[in-house]
Amino acid sequence: MARLQKKLKQLLNDGYSANKIAKLLHKRKQDVLAEIRKIQNKPINPKKITNPKGRIGSIELDLPSKAFTEALYKQGYPIEYIVKLVNKKHSETSKAKIRRYLKEYKKNNPEALDSHNANMRLYKAMGKYKQHIDAKFFRETKEHYFQEFDSQFKEGSPTIEIDLAEEG
């Protein structure tokens, strides 16, 4: 370190910028800046700190989203499917927040992880895994969370009638 600090002092006295010094020494710019701050006894400028409190925002979900997410996870559904379904049912909950919550949930609840993995193996063994997931997602979103369908024609446009007798 002493060797690096001598080299840094020399390059700073020669008028090099921190970026140029980092390139010359093949070091990360952040590391070079930290060493320069140590040499000059300067603190980090608080305006330059992008996120002083670490990750901003809680990973806690509201109660209905939390219960729904945990139930789906224990039943063995894939995480992306859970994220889509929970977001569809509780649209105020973001997909990223659900993913972060599930990541923490897996760490803190090993029995839920075991249950999830056992159910995943069961679905895969049944051979109907993908179809089951797709059908359930379609059914749930169609019946309970139906959103207005944008039709091809605007309202009031003429109906198209086909006479099958002329074709045959």
Q: CB under 8 Å, gap of 24 or more: what pairs does 145-150 form?
A: 145/88, 145/89
Query: Consecutive 10-residue runs of the chain (168 residues): their mean pLDDT?
Result: 83 90 90 89 77 64 89 82 87 89 88 80 67 57 50 57 65
pTM over cut 0.85: no
Closest CA to 10 of 38, 39, 43, 42: 39
How far is 83 from 93, CA to CA, in rounded Å?
10
